[in-house]
Amino acid sequence: MKRKAFLLIVCILSFAVSDCLAQYEPLANRNKRGLYARSIEQILRLKEDELDLATAVLIISEQWNDNVLGRRYVSRLDDMAYEIRSRLKARRLQANYKAIPVINEYLFEQLGFRSVKEARDPGDLFLDSVLDRKRGYCLSLSILYLALGERLGLPLYGVVVPGHFFVRYDDQMKMRFNIETTSKGANAPDEHYLNKFNVPDGDGIYMKNLNKMQTLGCFFNNLGNSYSDVGNVEGALRALEKAVEINPSLAESRTNLGNIYLKKGRVDDAIDEYQYALDINPDDAKTHNNLGNAYSNLGRLDDAISKYRLSLELEPNFIDAHKNLANAYCKKTMYVKAIAQLKQALALEPRDASVYVQLGNVYGQMDNCKKAISQYKKALKINSRSADAHYGIAVCYNKLGRVDDEIRAYKKALAFQPKMFSALANLGNAYFQKQNYDVAVEQYKKASRVKPDDGAVRYNLGAAYFNQGRYAQAATEYLKAVDVDPQAGNAHKGLAFAFYKLEKYDMARKHMKIAEQLGAEVPADLVAAIKDKSQ
């Protein structure tokens, strides 16, 4: 009996030593140059076999959030890989396709990693956040999975389809299957992705095994969207241009880069990117809609309408396309068609306050203030904080000559959106109309801080100063208006008045002549007075 006990102890000790040694056997990604990279620039210079995907995305995470210590997360990934390898050895399994259920059990059952329904939180993209919060969406969970597979030496690849990303096991010989990280590692056939995500035909990037650099290109695409979501347009531009450079046949990157170009006023560049995207994926309703926005921006309304219609043919329930088509019809004064589109949008989403606001705007352009105000009030029942609805009501009151009501409505709009330029400027106009020049000046100043180069506000501020008898300040603002638009005849006329009051008669005569040449009507008594003084 003692001999048997001794043998049992030896076996236990032998197993423990073997497991300990397994823990410290080097991982499959050992000695890669990418593990020692310190910047994105260094990463992008690496060859494919030198790149460590986790290190790359963590370096990018450090740029997004200075508090991220990427090396600490690399160490955590290493520990996770060691744990998975120990579990494989304990079950006498090889690091091949049989490792996938072990990884799934460890990640999704024991550690509790889960997917989020929508990628609204930029933090859900970054590997450090995914590891800390144990949540992510398709791309970020897949990057975690790929990083572990890289450390275990598994033939795992990222795969992209329109609007989605997943992982594929492919040993190039016997075993090939897909791994859906948003469904706890479940397997789905290629047909599932081809049908659900409307994968376009062609020899592009979709449904192919991606290398690590191409996966990183997909990450740059989502990074660009994250920067855009927080208002960092320049950061978004850099990320999306890199995404297109790495994966030129990824239609989403082209579309997203087009969106940023459109925000920056680079409309022709935006159109080029949208058209590239549609060459790759001609059935993308959102890109047709965005191309319509670009055409509308250029005043090419017929082209815009054509694109919006095509977008709706592809996706009839696309509310933004209905709203944009209505806007284009409205610009062409095709109000009945505009209203019809907005009613379709409301049938799809009756609680969308912005649609009621847009309907109010259409009725307002038709000078039907009663119906316009009714629509704005419906919007406010849904969202009482809608600055646009309060503003629309104010504009209607202006048309109706109800100045006090107009002022109150502008103030409500500004309570919810203090830097709303049009409300500030129009509130100044309302106080000007009431000859309350002190308050008018205050509002015009606020508006000019929002848009320093708006010539109309500078002119109105000058006029308010002039009516206060503050002629030097009036001249200063009129000059700013002229700097913005040298052809602003009324601003030159204002300068003629102001300089006359300041007894700078030569300057008054100069601007009087310019005003007359530009077609501004200068009062005869001012012309006579200036001529008399400048002789």
**Is the pLDDT confidence value at 19 over 60?**
no
The predicted-structure confidence for 363-374, as pLDDT tens digits, reads as follows 999 999 999 999
The predicted-structure confidence for 102-135, as pLDDT tens digits, reads as follows 999 999 999 999 999 887 788 899 999 999 999 9
The predicted-structure confidence for 151-179, as pLDDT tens digits, reads as follows 999 999 999 999 999 999 999 999 999 99
- State the sign of the Cα–Cα–Cα–Cα dihedral 148, 151, 154, 160: positive
Q: pLDDT at position 63, please?
A: 79
Q: pLDDT at position 369, please?
A: 98
Query: In 170-266, which residue ranges form alpha helices assigned H by DSSP?
Result: 190-196, 212-229, 233-246, 251-263
- State the sign of the Cα–Cα–Cα–Cα dihedral 212, 218, 219, 220: positive
Q: In the chain, what are the domains?
A: 15-210 (3.10.620), 230-283 (1.25.40.10)
**Is the pLDDT confidence value at 444 over 90?**
yes
Range of lowest pLDDT (110-124, 260-274, 400-414, 429-443): 110-124
- Are 462 and 498 in contact by the 8 Å Cβ rule? The answer is yes
Cβ neighbours of 361 (radius 10 Å): 22
- Are 165 and 207 in contact by the 8 Å Cβ rule? The answer is no
Burial class (CB in 10 A: 0-12, 13-18, 19+), 415: exposed
Average pLDDT in the chain: 93
Distance of CA 351 to the CA centre of its chain: 23
Q: pLDDT at position 16, please?
A: 41
The predicted-structure confidence for 357-399, as pLDDT tens digits, reads as follows 999 999 999 999 999 999 999 999 999 999 999 999 999 999 9
- Are 229 and 183 in contact by the 8 Å Cβ rule? The answer is no
3-state secondary structure 342-381: HHHHHHHCCCCHHHHHHHHHHHHHCCCHHHHHHHHHHHHH
**Is the pLDDT confidence value at 244 over 50?**
yes
The predicted-structure confidence for 311-356, as pLDDT tens digits, reads as follows 999 999 999 999 999 999 999 999 999 999 999 999 999 999 999 9
Report how far apart, in Å, the C-alpha atoms of 119 and of each of 141, 260, 336 are: 12, 19, 37
Q: pLDDT at position 532, please?
A: 87
pLDDT band at 248 (very low <50, low <70, confident <90, very high): very high
Average pLDDT, integer, range 243-272: 98
Q: pLDDT at position 7, please?
A: 34
**Is the pLDDT confidence value at 38 over 90?**
no
The predicted-structure confidence for 445-464, as pLDDT tens digits, reads as follows 999 999 999 999 999 999 99
> pTM (2 decimals)?
0.86
Average pLDDT, integer, range 228-252: 96
Q: pLDDT at position 203, please?
A: 83
Name the pairing type of β-strands 135-136 and 156-161. unpaired
**Is the pLDDT confidence value at 22 over 60?**
no
**Is the pLDDT confidence value at 498 over 80?**
yes
Average pLDDT, integer, range 480-497: 97
Q: pLDDT at position 39, please?
A: 87
